[in-house]
Amino acid sequence: MTAQSVKITPFHDQKPGTSGLRKKTRDFMRPQYLEAFIQSIFNAIGGGHGKAFVIGGDGRFFNAEAIQTIVKIATANGATRLIIGQNGILSTPAASHLIRKYGTDGGFILSASHNPGGIDEDFGVKFNAANGGPAPEALTAKMFNETKALGSYEISDQPDIDLTRIGTTKIGAMQVEIVDPVSDYLALMEELFDFNAISALFAGGFRMCFDAMHAVTGPYAHAILEDRLGAPKGTVVNGIPKEDFGKGHPDPNPIWAKTLMDLMMSDNAPDLGAASDGDGDRNMIVGRGAYVTPSDSLAVLAANAHLAPAYTKGLAGIARSMPTSAASDRVAARLGIEHFETPTGWKFFGNLLDAGRVTICGEESAGTGSDHVREKDGLWAVLLWLNILAKRNLSVAQILTDHWATYGRDYYSRHDFEAIETSKADALVAELSDKLPTLPGQCFAGLTVTKADEFSYHDPVDGSVSTHQGLRVYFDGGGRAVFRLSGTGTEGATLRIYLEHYEPAEGDHSQDPQTALAPLRDAAYTLSRLTEHTGRSEPDVRT
Ligand code: G16
Protein backbone atom coordinates (compact mmCIF):
# COMPACT_ATOMS: atom_id res chain seq x y z
CA MET A 1 0.00 0.00 0.00
CA THR A 2 1.44 3.36 -1.00
CA ALA A 3 0.14 6.89 -0.78
CA GLN A 4 0.48 9.25 -3.68
CA SER A 5 0.02 12.93 -4.19
CA VAL A 6 -2.19 13.72 -7.18
CA LYS A 7 -1.91 17.14 -8.85
CA ILE A 8 -5.20 18.93 -9.35
CA THR A 9 -6.73 22.05 -10.86
CA PRO A 10 -8.90 23.50 -8.09
CA PHE A 11 -12.69 23.59 -8.36
CA HIS A 12 -14.33 26.92 -7.69
CA ASP A 13 -17.86 25.79 -6.81
CA GLN A 14 -17.29 23.94 -3.55
CA LYS A 15 -18.74 26.47 -1.15
CA PRO A 16 -20.54 24.67 1.72
CA GLY A 17 -24.15 25.83 2.18
CA THR A 18 -26.52 25.69 5.13
CA SER A 19 -25.51 22.10 5.78
CA GLY A 20 -22.34 20.97 3.99
CA LEU A 21 -21.66 20.75 0.27
CA ARG A 22 -24.70 19.65 -1.73
CA LYS A 23 -24.60 19.10 -5.46
CA LYS A 24 -26.03 16.91 -8.13
CA THR A 25 -24.69 13.37 -7.69
CA ARG A 26 -23.06 13.51 -11.12
CA ASP A 27 -21.06 16.55 -9.95
CA PHE A 28 -19.66 14.56 -7.07
CA MET A 29 -18.91 11.67 -9.47
CA ARG A 30 -16.75 13.87 -11.70
CA PRO A 31 -13.08 12.87 -11.60
CA GLN A 32 -11.29 14.36 -8.57
CA TYR A 33 -14.33 16.37 -7.38
CA LEU A 34 -15.03 14.45 -4.17
CA GLU A 35 -11.30 13.93 -3.61
CA ALA A 36 -10.70 17.69 -3.82
CA PHE A 37 -13.37 18.52 -1.29
CA ILE A 38 -12.27 15.85 1.19
CA GLN A 39 -8.63 16.91 0.94
CA SER A 40 -9.70 20.53 1.49
CA ILE A 41 -11.47 19.45 4.68
CA PHE A 42 -8.30 17.72 5.89
CA ASN A 43 -6.29 20.84 5.09
CA ALA A 44 -8.80 23.08 6.86
CA ILE A 45 -8.63 21.03 10.07
CA GLY A 46 -4.84 21.03 10.11
CA GLY A 47 -4.35 17.61 8.50
CA GLY A 48 -5.37 14.10 9.48
CA HIS A 49 -2.19 12.90 11.14
CA GLY A 50 -2.89 10.75 14.23
CA LYS A 51 -6.60 11.60 14.12
CA ALA A 52 -9.79 9.54 14.41
CA PHE A 53 -12.97 10.02 12.39
CA VAL A 54 -16.48 8.63 12.11
CA ILE A 55 -17.76 7.95 8.58
CA GLY A 56 -21.27 7.10 7.45
CA GLY A 57 -24.13 8.23 5.32
CA ASP A 58 -27.81 7.91 4.56
CA GLY A 59 -27.35 5.10 2.05
CA ARG A 60 -28.20 7.13 -1.02
CA PHE A 61 -26.71 6.38 -4.43
CA PHE A 62 -22.88 6.85 -4.39
CA ASN A 63 -22.74 6.50 -0.56
CA ALA A 64 -20.54 3.40 -0.52
CA GLU A 65 -18.23 4.58 -3.32
CA ALA A 66 -17.73 7.93 -1.56
CA ILE A 67 -16.87 6.16 1.69
CA GLN A 68 -14.19 4.06 -0.04
CA THR A 69 -12.63 7.24 -1.44
CA ILE A 70 -12.71 8.99 1.94
CA VAL A 71 -11.06 5.97 3.61
CA LYS A 72 -8.22 6.08 1.06
CA ILE A 73 -7.72 9.83 1.51
CA ALA A 74 -7.87 9.48 5.30
CA THR A 75 -5.21 6.75 5.15
CA ALA A 76 -2.91 8.91 3.03
CA ASN A 77 -3.45 11.88 5.34
CA GLY A 78 -2.24 9.84 8.32
CA ALA A 79 -5.51 9.13 10.17
CA THR A 80 -5.12 6.36 12.76
CA ARG A 81 -8.70 5.33 13.49
CA LEU A 82 -11.91 5.22 11.45
CA ILE A 83 -15.31 4.19 12.82
CA ILE A 84 -17.69 3.38 9.98
CA GLY A 85 -21.36 2.35 10.03
CA GLN A 86 -22.00 -1.14 8.65
CA ASN A 87 -22.84 -0.96 4.94
CA GLY A 88 -21.89 2.70 5.13
CA ILE A 89 -25.08 3.52 7.03
CA LEU A 90 -25.26 6.07 9.85
CA SER A 91 -28.04 8.51 10.51
CA THR A 92 -26.78 12.05 11.08
CA PRO A 93 -27.68 12.06 14.81
CA ALA A 94 -26.14 8.59 15.26
CA ALA A 95 -22.93 9.84 13.63
CA SER A 96 -22.93 12.85 15.95
CA HIS A 97 -23.32 10.50 18.91
CA LEU A 98 -20.45 8.25 17.81
CA ILE A 99 -18.13 11.25 17.39
CA ARG A 100 -18.92 12.33 20.95
CA LYS A 101 -18.96 8.88 22.51
CA TYR A 102 -15.63 7.76 21.05
CA GLY A 103 -14.02 11.19 21.27
CA THR A 104 -13.03 11.31 17.60
CA ASP A 105 -11.67 14.41 15.90
CA GLY A 106 -14.79 14.70 13.77
CA GLY A 107 -16.79 12.84 11.19
CA PHE A 108 -17.73 12.72 7.52
CA ILE A 109 -21.47 12.38 6.88
CA LEU A 110 -22.57 11.59 3.35
CA SER A 111 -26.03 12.95 2.79
CA ALA A 112 -28.04 15.55 0.97
CA SER A 113 -30.59 15.22 3.75
CA HIS A 114 -34.17 15.54 2.52
CA ASN A 115 -33.16 16.03 -1.12
CA PRO A 116 -33.95 13.10 -3.45
CA GLY A 117 -31.22 10.54 -4.17
CA GLY A 118 -30.03 8.77 -7.31
CA ILE A 119 -27.54 9.33 -10.12
CA ASP A 120 -29.62 12.24 -11.43
CA GLU A 121 -30.55 13.60 -8.01
CA ASP A 122 -28.53 14.96 -5.12
CA PHE A 123 -25.53 14.02 -3.03
CA GLY A 124 -23.76 15.81 -0.21
CA VAL A 125 -20.86 15.79 2.22
CA LYS A 126 -20.91 17.31 5.70
CA PHE A 127 -18.01 17.48 8.10
CA ASN A 128 -18.86 17.49 11.79
CA ALA A 129 -16.35 18.68 14.35
CA ALA A 130 -15.14 16.99 17.54
CA ASN A 131 -18.17 18.22 19.49
CA GLY A 132 -20.32 16.16 17.10
CA GLY A 133 -21.87 19.22 15.50
CA PRO A 134 -21.79 20.62 11.97
CA ALA A 135 -18.64 22.54 11.15
CA PRO A 136 -19.14 26.12 12.30
CA GLU A 137 -19.06 29.00 9.79
CA ALA A 138 -15.40 29.84 10.44
CA LEU A 139 -14.43 26.26 9.54
CA THR A 140 -16.63 26.03 6.45
CA ALA A 141 -15.13 29.33 5.25
CA LYS A 142 -11.65 27.82 5.72
CA MET A 143 -12.68 24.72 3.76
CA PHE A 144 -13.94 26.88 0.91
CA ASN A 145 -10.67 28.81 0.82
CA GLU A 146 -8.76 25.54 0.70
CA THR A 147 -10.86 24.27 -2.23
CA LYS A 148 -10.02 27.37 -4.26
CA ALA A 149 -6.27 27.02 -3.76
CA LEU A 150 -5.90 23.23 -3.75
CA GLY A 151 -2.87 22.02 -5.75
CA SER A 152 -3.03 18.29 -4.98
CA TYR A 153 -4.68 15.62 -2.87
CA GLU A 154 -3.23 12.62 -1.06
CA ILE A 155 -4.66 9.16 -1.69
CA SER A 156 -3.64 5.62 -0.86
CA ASP A 157 -3.85 2.75 -3.35
CA GLN A 158 -5.21 0.18 -0.87
CA PRO A 159 -8.09 -2.08 -1.97
CA ASP A 160 -11.66 -1.22 -0.99
CA ILE A 161 -12.60 -2.22 2.54
CA ASP A 162 -15.45 -4.64 3.30
CA LEU A 163 -18.25 -2.44 4.64
CA THR A 164 -20.59 -5.35 5.26
CA ARG A 165 -18.74 -7.12 8.09
CA ILE A 166 -18.82 -5.77 11.65
CA GLY A 167 -15.39 -5.86 13.27
CA THR A 168 -11.97 -4.24 13.38
CA THR A 169 -9.24 -4.46 10.74
CA LYS A 170 -6.00 -2.64 10.06
CA ILE A 171 -4.85 -0.74 7.02
CA GLY A 172 -1.18 -0.14 7.68
CA ALA A 173 -1.12 1.72 10.99
CA MET A 174 -4.77 2.73 10.76
CA GLN A 175 -7.52 0.88 12.65
CA VAL A 176 -10.84 0.55 10.83
CA GLU A 177 -13.90 -0.40 12.86
CA ILE A 178 -17.13 -1.36 11.13
CA VAL A 179 -19.88 -0.88 13.72
CA ASP A 180 -23.57 -1.63 14.02
CA PRO A 181 -25.20 1.72 13.16
CA VAL A 182 -28.04 1.31 15.65
CA SER A 183 -26.79 -0.14 18.96
CA ASP A 184 -24.96 2.87 20.46
CA TYR A 185 -27.80 5.16 19.43
CA LEU A 186 -30.42 2.85 20.96
CA ALA A 187 -28.46 2.76 24.23
CA LEU A 188 -28.44 6.57 24.30
CA MET A 189 -32.20 6.76 23.74
CA GLU A 190 -32.72 4.27 26.59
CA GLU A 191 -30.88 6.67 28.91
CA LEU A 192 -33.01 9.66 27.89
CA PHE A 193 -36.55 8.31 27.86
CA ASP A 194 -38.91 6.27 29.98
CA PHE A 195 -38.94 3.15 27.81
CA ASN A 196 -41.12 1.31 30.33
CA ALA A 197 -43.84 3.94 30.05
CA ILE A 198 -43.66 3.92 26.24
CA SER A 199 -43.73 0.10 26.13
CA ALA A 200 -46.79 0.15 28.39
CA LEU A 201 -48.43 2.64 26.02
CA PHE A 202 -47.98 0.26 23.07
CA ALA A 203 -49.04 -2.71 25.19
CA GLY A 204 -52.25 -0.83 25.97
CA GLY A 205 -53.19 -0.71 22.29
CA PHE A 206 -51.71 2.67 21.28
CA ARG A 207 -51.30 2.67 17.50
CA MET A 208 -48.64 4.46 15.54
CA CYS A 209 -47.43 4.73 11.96
CA PHE A 210 -43.80 5.71 11.42
CA ASP A 211 -42.88 6.45 7.81
CA ALA A 212 -39.13 6.03 7.31
CA MET A 213 -39.55 7.22 3.71
CA HIS A 214 -37.20 4.46 2.39
CA ALA A 215 -34.39 6.34 4.10
CA VAL A 216 -31.88 5.88 6.88
CA THR A 217 -34.16 5.78 9.93
CA GLY A 218 -35.75 2.50 8.84
CA PRO A 219 -33.29 0.23 10.70
CA TYR A 220 -33.32 2.52 13.76
CA ALA A 221 -37.12 2.69 13.89
CA HIS A 222 -37.56 -1.07 13.45
CA ALA A 223 -35.05 -1.75 16.23
CA ILE A 224 -36.31 0.87 18.68
CA LEU A 225 -40.07 1.11 18.11
CA GLU A 226 -40.93 -2.45 17.16
CA ASP A 227 -38.18 -4.69 18.60
CA ARG A 228 -37.40 -2.78 21.82
CA LEU A 229 -40.61 -0.90 22.66
CA GLY A 230 -43.01 -3.56 21.43
CA ALA A 231 -44.96 -1.58 18.84
CA PRO A 232 -46.67 -4.09 16.53
CA LYS A 233 -44.80 -5.16 13.38
CA GLY A 234 -45.94 -2.95 10.57
CA THR A 235 -45.78 0.17 12.74
CA VAL A 236 -42.73 1.20 10.68
CA VAL A 237 -43.44 1.56 6.97
CA ASN A 238 -40.97 2.10 4.12
CA GLY A 239 -38.33 0.92 6.57
CA ILE A 240 -35.65 -0.43 4.24
CA PRO A 241 -33.19 2.26 3.08
CA LYS A 242 -33.03 2.47 -0.70
CA GLU A 243 -30.41 4.33 -2.66
CA ASP A 244 -33.07 6.34 -4.50
CA PHE A 245 -35.50 6.49 -1.52
CA GLY A 246 -38.03 4.60 -3.61
CA LYS A 247 -37.87 7.51 -6.07
CA GLY A 248 -39.49 9.66 -3.40
CA HIS A 249 -38.53 12.91 -1.81
CA PRO A 250 -37.50 12.00 1.75
CA ASP A 251 -38.69 15.22 3.32
CA PRO A 252 -41.11 14.73 6.22
CA ASN A 253 -43.73 17.36 5.55
CA PRO A 254 -47.41 17.19 4.58
CA ILE A 255 -46.57 17.35 0.86
CA TRP A 256 -43.87 14.69 0.61
CA ALA A 257 -45.31 12.46 3.35
CA LYS A 258 -48.78 12.72 1.84
CA THR A 259 -49.67 9.04 2.22
CA LEU A 260 -49.06 9.32 5.96
CA MET A 261 -51.00 12.60 6.12
CA ASP A 262 -53.95 11.02 4.31
CA LEU A 263 -53.91 8.11 6.76
CA MET A 264 -53.79 10.46 9.76
CA MET A 265 -56.75 12.47 8.46
CA SER A 266 -58.80 9.31 7.77
CA ASP A 267 -61.31 7.47 9.99
CA ASN A 268 -58.79 4.68 10.46
CA ALA A 269 -56.02 6.97 11.72
CA PRO A 270 -53.71 5.58 14.39
CA ASP A 271 -52.95 7.65 17.51
CA LEU A 272 -49.65 9.01 16.23
CA GLY A 273 -48.07 9.48 12.82
CA ALA A 274 -44.42 10.36 12.39
CA ALA A 275 -41.86 10.52 9.63
CA SER A 276 -38.18 11.23 9.28
CA ASP A 277 -36.01 12.38 6.41
CA GLY A 278 -33.14 11.04 4.27
CA ASP A 279 -30.49 11.18 6.99
CA GLY A 280 -32.75 10.91 10.03
CA ASP A 281 -32.35 14.35 11.55
CA ARG A 282 -35.73 15.83 10.61
CA ASN A 283 -39.13 14.75 11.89
CA MET A 284 -42.80 15.26 11.28
CA ILE A 285 -45.40 14.69 13.99
CA VAL A 286 -49.09 14.31 13.28
CA GLY A 287 -51.87 13.20 15.56
CA ARG A 288 -55.24 11.82 14.54
CA GLY A 289 -56.65 14.70 12.49
CA ALA A 290 -54.01 17.07 13.93
CA TYR A 291 -50.84 18.11 12.11
CA VAL A 292 -48.25 19.60 14.45
CA THR A 293 -46.13 22.34 12.89
CA PRO A 294 -42.41 22.00 13.66
CA SER A 295 -42.52 25.31 15.54
CA ASP A 296 -45.40 24.08 17.72
CA SER A 297 -43.69 20.73 18.18
CA LEU A 298 -40.61 22.49 19.56
CA ALA A 299 -42.77 24.49 21.97
CA VAL A 300 -44.77 21.46 23.14
CA LEU A 301 -41.63 19.35 23.61
CA ALA A 302 -39.97 22.13 25.62
CA ALA A 303 -43.05 22.67 27.78
CA ASN A 304 -43.36 18.94 28.56
CA ALA A 305 -39.75 17.76 28.49
CA HIS A 306 -39.65 17.40 32.27
CA LEU A 307 -41.81 14.28 31.83
CA ALA A 308 -38.81 12.44 30.34
CA PRO A 309 -36.02 11.20 32.64
CA ALA A 310 -33.26 13.16 30.88
CA TYR A 311 -34.98 16.49 31.46
CA THR A 312 -36.65 16.13 34.86
CA LYS A 313 -34.35 18.78 36.30
CA GLY A 314 -35.60 21.30 33.76
CA LEU A 315 -34.07 23.00 30.75
CA ALA A 316 -31.16 25.44 30.74
CA GLY A 317 -32.65 27.37 27.84
CA ILE A 318 -34.31 27.02 24.45
CA ALA A 319 -32.97 28.08 21.05
CA ARG A 320 -34.76 28.38 17.75
CA SER A 321 -33.76 29.58 14.30
CA MET A 322 -34.98 33.06 13.43
CA PRO A 323 -37.65 31.99 10.90
CA THR A 324 -39.12 29.53 13.43
CA SER A 325 -42.24 30.85 15.19
CA ALA A 326 -42.03 32.52 18.59
CA ALA A 327 -44.07 29.72 20.22
CA SER A 328 -41.03 28.34 22.06
CA ASP A 329 -40.07 31.83 23.32
CA ARG A 330 -43.38 31.90 25.20
CA VAL A 331 -42.54 28.58 26.85
CA ALA A 332 -39.08 29.84 27.83
CA ALA A 333 -40.61 33.00 29.30
CA ARG A 334 -43.02 31.00 31.43
CA LEU A 335 -40.27 28.63 32.56
CA GLY A 336 -38.09 31.62 33.38
CA ILE A 337 -35.20 30.38 31.23
CA GLU A 338 -33.15 31.96 28.44
CA HIS A 339 -34.23 31.76 24.81
CA PHE A 340 -32.13 32.45 21.74
CA GLU A 341 -32.82 33.28 18.11
CA THR A 342 -30.11 32.01 15.74
CA PRO A 343 -29.68 31.97 11.96
CA THR A 344 -30.98 29.00 9.98
CA GLY A 345 -28.56 26.07 10.26
CA TRP A 346 -28.02 23.64 13.11
CA LYS A 347 -24.37 24.70 13.33
CA PHE A 348 -25.45 27.89 15.09
CA PHE A 349 -26.80 25.93 18.08
CA GLY A 350 -23.47 24.24 18.75
CA ASN A 351 -21.86 26.96 20.86
CA LEU A 352 -25.00 27.45 22.97
CA LEU A 353 -25.25 23.69 23.61
CA ASP A 354 -21.54 23.33 24.37
CA ALA A 355 -21.73 26.26 26.80
CA GLY A 356 -24.72 24.71 28.59
CA ARG A 357 -26.88 27.73 27.78
CA VAL A 358 -29.61 25.69 26.08
CA THR A 359 -30.96 22.15 26.37
CA ILE A 360 -33.50 22.03 23.54
CA CYS A 361 -33.27 23.55 20.06
CA GLY A 362 -35.51 23.54 17.04
CA GLU A 363 -36.22 24.85 13.60
CA GLU A 364 -39.26 25.37 11.43
CA SER A 365 -37.61 23.08 8.86
CA ALA A 366 -38.73 20.03 10.85
CA GLY A 367 -35.71 19.81 13.12
CA THR A 368 -35.71 19.40 16.88
CA GLY A 369 -33.02 18.12 19.17
CA SER A 370 -31.32 18.46 22.51
CA ASP A 371 -27.92 18.47 24.14
CA HIS A 372 -27.67 14.65 23.85
CA VAL A 373 -25.98 15.12 20.45
CA ARG A 374 -25.04 18.15 18.35
CA GLU A 375 -27.49 17.55 15.51
CA LYS A 376 -31.20 17.63 15.21
CA ASP A 377 -32.61 14.20 15.78
CA GLY A 378 -35.78 12.86 14.17
CA LEU A 379 -36.27 9.73 16.27
CA TRP A 380 -35.40 11.60 19.47
CA ALA A 381 -38.33 13.95 18.78
CA VAL A 382 -40.64 11.01 18.10
CA LEU A 383 -39.56 9.28 21.32
CA LEU A 384 -40.00 12.44 23.38
CA TRP A 385 -43.52 12.81 21.96
CA LEU A 386 -44.21 9.17 22.84
CA ASN A 387 -42.84 9.71 26.34
CA ILE A 388 -45.10 12.76 26.79
CA LEU A 389 -48.15 10.95 25.38
CA ALA A 390 -47.47 8.03 27.72
CA LYS A 391 -47.31 10.31 30.75
CA ARG A 392 -50.12 12.73 29.96
CA ASN A 393 -52.68 10.26 28.74
CA LEU A 394 -54.06 12.80 26.25
CA SER A 395 -54.22 12.66 22.44
CA VAL A 396 -51.90 14.74 20.27
CA ALA A 397 -54.84 17.02 19.40
CA GLN A 398 -55.69 17.50 23.09
CA ILE A 399 -52.08 18.31 23.93
CA LEU A 400 -52.02 20.94 21.18
CA THR A 401 -55.35 22.48 22.22
CA ASP A 402 -54.21 22.60 25.81
CA HIS A 403 -50.91 24.20 24.79
CA TRP A 404 -52.63 26.93 22.79
CA ALA A 405 -55.09 27.59 25.60
CA THR A 406 -52.11 28.24 27.86
CA TYR A 407 -49.71 30.08 25.56
CA GLY A 408 -51.82 31.24 22.61
CA ARG A 409 -51.34 29.96 19.07
CA ASP A 410 -48.72 31.04 16.56
CA TYR A 411 -50.36 30.37 13.21
CA TYR A 412 -47.47 29.48 10.98
CA SER A 413 -46.67 28.45 7.43
CA ARG A 414 -43.66 28.48 5.12
CA HIS A 415 -44.23 29.03 1.40
CA ASP A 416 -41.46 27.71 -0.86
CA PHE A 417 -40.88 28.77 -4.44
CA GLU A 418 -38.45 26.26 -5.89
CA ALA A 419 -36.04 26.29 -8.84
CA ILE A 420 -36.40 30.00 -9.54
CA GLU A 421 -33.75 31.41 -11.87
CA THR A 422 -31.01 32.50 -9.47
CA SER A 423 -30.71 36.00 -10.96
CA LYS A 424 -34.44 36.61 -10.47
CA ALA A 425 -34.43 35.42 -6.87
CA ASP A 426 -31.34 37.52 -6.15
CA ALA A 427 -33.02 40.57 -7.70
CA LEU A 428 -36.10 40.13 -5.48
CA VAL A 429 -33.99 39.88 -2.35
CA ALA A 430 -31.74 42.80 -3.34
CA GLU A 431 -34.71 45.07 -4.07
CA LEU A 432 -36.47 44.14 -0.85
CA SER A 433 -33.30 44.57 1.14
CA ASP A 434 -32.77 48.06 -0.33
CA LYS A 435 -36.26 49.20 0.51
CA LEU A 436 -36.42 47.82 4.07
CA PRO A 437 -35.81 51.25 5.68
CA THR A 438 -38.69 52.78 3.71
CA LEU A 439 -41.28 50.09 4.60
CA PRO A 440 -42.42 51.11 8.10
CA GLY A 441 -45.67 53.04 7.84
CA GLN A 442 -46.47 51.71 4.36
CA CYS A 443 -49.58 49.60 3.82
CA PHE A 444 -49.65 46.45 1.65
CA ALA A 445 -52.84 44.52 0.95
CA GLY A 446 -54.42 46.19 3.96
CA LEU A 447 -51.59 45.56 6.45
CA THR A 448 -49.29 48.29 7.73
CA VAL A 449 -45.60 47.60 8.26
CA THR A 450 -44.35 48.50 11.74
CA LYS A 451 -40.72 47.40 11.46
CA ALA A 452 -38.41 45.86 8.86
CA ASP A 453 -34.81 44.72 9.13
CA GLU A 454 -32.19 42.22 8.04
CA PHE A 455 -31.30 39.62 10.66
CA SER A 456 -27.72 39.45 11.94
CA TYR A 457 -26.61 37.11 14.70
CA HIS A 458 -24.12 37.95 17.41
CA ASP A 459 -23.05 34.65 18.93
CA PRO A 460 -23.14 35.23 22.71
CA VAL A 461 -20.55 32.52 23.31
CA ASP A 462 -17.70 33.26 20.89
CA GLY A 463 -18.67 36.77 19.81
CA SER A 464 -18.76 35.92 16.09
CA VAL A 465 -21.18 37.84 13.88
CA SER A 466 -23.20 36.33 11.00
CA THR A 467 -24.83 38.84 8.67
CA HIS A 468 -27.41 38.60 5.84
CA GLN A 469 -29.48 35.95 7.58
CA GLY A 470 -32.92 36.85 6.28
CA LEU A 471 -35.20 39.85 5.80
CA ARG A 472 -37.90 40.41 8.43
CA VAL A 473 -41.03 42.48 8.03
CA TYR A 474 -43.37 43.03 10.99
CA PHE A 475 -46.97 44.20 10.63
CA ASP A 476 -49.54 45.99 12.68
CA GLY A 477 -51.53 43.34 14.55
CA GLY A 478 -48.51 41.18 15.34
CA GLY A 479 -47.85 39.40 12.04
CA ARG A 480 -44.38 38.71 10.68
CA ALA A 481 -43.09 37.73 7.24
CA VAL A 482 -39.51 36.55 6.70
CA PHE A 483 -37.82 36.23 3.33
CA ARG A 484 -34.66 34.24 2.67
CA LEU A 485 -33.06 32.07 0.04
CA SER A 486 -32.46 28.44 0.89
CA GLY A 487 -28.87 27.30 1.33
CA THR A 488 -29.59 23.65 0.65
CA GLY A 489 -31.03 23.52 -2.87
CA THR A 490 -29.09 22.27 -5.89
CA GLU A 491 -31.16 23.72 -8.72
CA GLY A 492 -31.57 27.46 -9.23
CA ALA A 493 -32.75 29.26 -6.10
CA THR A 494 -35.47 28.41 -3.60
CA LEU A 495 -37.20 31.42 -2.09
CA ARG A 496 -38.72 30.80 1.31
CA ILE A 497 -41.40 33.10 2.68
CA TYR A 498 -42.20 32.38 6.33
CA LEU A 499 -45.53 33.67 7.66
CA GLU A 500 -46.53 33.91 11.30
CA HIS A 501 -49.46 35.42 13.15
CA TYR A 502 -50.03 35.22 16.90
CA GLU A 503 -53.47 34.60 18.39
CA PRO A 504 -53.45 35.09 22.19
CA ALA A 505 -54.55 32.41 24.67
CA GLU A 506 -58.14 33.68 24.76
CA GLY A 507 -58.36 34.03 20.93
CA ASP A 508 -59.66 31.75 18.17
CA HIS A 509 -57.33 28.77 17.71
CA SER A 510 -59.56 26.79 15.41
CA GLN A 511 -58.81 28.38 12.06
CA ASP A 512 -57.11 26.70 9.14
CA PRO A 513 -53.56 28.18 9.17
CA GLN A 514 -53.64 29.12 5.47
CA THR A 515 -56.89 31.01 6.05
CA ALA A 516 -55.59 32.70 9.19
CA LEU A 517 -52.44 33.72 7.32
CA ALA A 518 -54.08 34.83 4.06
CA PRO A 519 -53.88 38.60 4.78
CA LEU A 520 -50.22 38.25 5.73
CA ARG A 521 -49.52 36.19 2.61
CA ASP A 522 -51.11 38.84 0.40
CA ALA A 523 -49.10 41.59 2.07
CA ALA A 524 -45.83 39.60 1.81
CA TYR A 525 -46.34 38.68 -1.84
CA THR A 526 -47.27 42.25 -2.73
CA LEU A 527 -44.49 44.05 -0.94
CA SER A 528 -41.80 41.72 -2.32
CA ARG A 529 -43.23 42.03 -5.86
CA LEU A 530 -43.05 38.24 -5.98
CA THR A 531 -44.94 37.75 -9.23
CA GLU A 532 -43.23 40.62 -11.03
CA HIS A 533 -39.81 39.19 -10.17
CA THR A 534 -40.42 35.47 -10.50
CA GLY A 535 -43.62 34.99 -12.49
CA ARG A 536 -44.89 32.87 -9.60
CA SER A 537 -47.93 33.40 -7.46
CA GLU A 538 -48.44 29.92 -5.98
CA PRO A 539 -45.81 28.21 -3.84
CA ASP A 540 -44.51 24.75 -4.76
CA VAL A 541 -44.62 23.68 -1.12
CA ARG A 542 -46.51 24.98 1.90
CA THR A 543 -45.43 23.52 5.20
C1 G16 B 1 -30.47 21.94 6.93
C2 G16 B 1 -29.96 22.62 8.16
C3 G16 B 1 -31.08 23.23 8.91
C4 G16 B 1 -31.88 24.15 8.03
C5 G16 B 1 -32.34 23.40 6.81
C6 G16 B 1 -33.01 24.30 5.79
O7 G16 B 1 -31.23 20.85 7.30
O8 G16 B 1 -29.27 21.71 8.98
O9 G16 B 1 -30.54 23.91 9.99
O10 G16 B 1 -32.97 24.67 8.71
O11 G16 B 1 -31.25 22.82 6.16
O12 G16 B 1 -32.08 25.21 5.33
P13 G16 B 1 -32.41 26.14 4.11
O14 G16 B 1 -33.62 26.92 4.49
O15 G16 B 1 -31.18 26.98 3.94
O16 G16 B 1 -32.70 25.25 2.92
P17 G16 B 1 -30.95 19.45 6.66
O18 G16 B 1 -31.97 18.54 7.29
O19 G16 B 1 -31.16 19.66 5.20
O20 G16 B 1 -29.54 19.12 6.98
Domains of the chain: 3-181 (3.40.120.10), 197-407 (3.40.120.10), 409-542 (3.30.310.50)
Q: Is the CB of 418 under 6 A from ligand 1?
A: no
Quick check: 72 and 171 in contact, CB under 8 A? no
How does pLDDT run along the chain (543 residues), one tens digit per residue? 899 999 999 999 999 988 899 999 999 999 999 999 999 999 999 999 999 999 999 999 999 999 999 999 999 999 999 999 999 999 999 999 999 999 999 999 999 999 999 999 999 999 999 999 999 889 999 999 999 999 999 999 999 999 999 999 999 999 999 999 999 999 999 999 999 999 999 999 999 999 999 999 999 999 999 999 999 999 999 999 999 999 999 999 998 999 999 999 999 999 999 999 999 999 999 999 999 999 999 999 999 999 999 999 999 999 999 999 999 999 999 999 999 999 999 989 999 999 999 999 999 999 999 999 999 999 999 999 999 999 999 999 999 999 999 999 999 999 999 999 999 999 999 999 999 999 999 999 999 999 999 999 999 999 999 999 999 999 998 899 999 999 887 789 999 999 999 999 999 999 999 999 999 999 999 999 999 999 999 999 888
Residue 65, judged by CB atoms within 10 A of its CB (0-12, 13-18, 19+), counts as middle
Q: For ligand 1, say whether the CB of 58 is within 6 Å of any of its atoms.
A: no
Q: Is the CB of residue 344 below 6 angstroms from any atom belonging to ligand 1? A: yes
CA distance 24 to 425: 20
Q: Residue 475: helix, strand or coil by DSSP?
A: strand
Q: Is 315 left (phi over 0), alpha (psi -120 to 50) or beta?
A: beta
Span from the CA of 282 to the centroid of ligand 1 (angstroms): 9
Tell me how far the alpha carbon of residue 294 lies from the centroid of ligand 1, in angstroms. Answer: 13
Q: What is the C-alpha separation between 156 and 158, in angstroms, rounded?
A: 6
For the annotated catalytic residues, the residue numbers are 113
**344 CA → ligand 1 middle, Å:** 7
Prediction pTM value:
0.94
Burial of 298 (0-12, 13-18, 19+ CB in 10 A): buried
For residue 113, which atom of ligand 1 is closest to its CA? 19
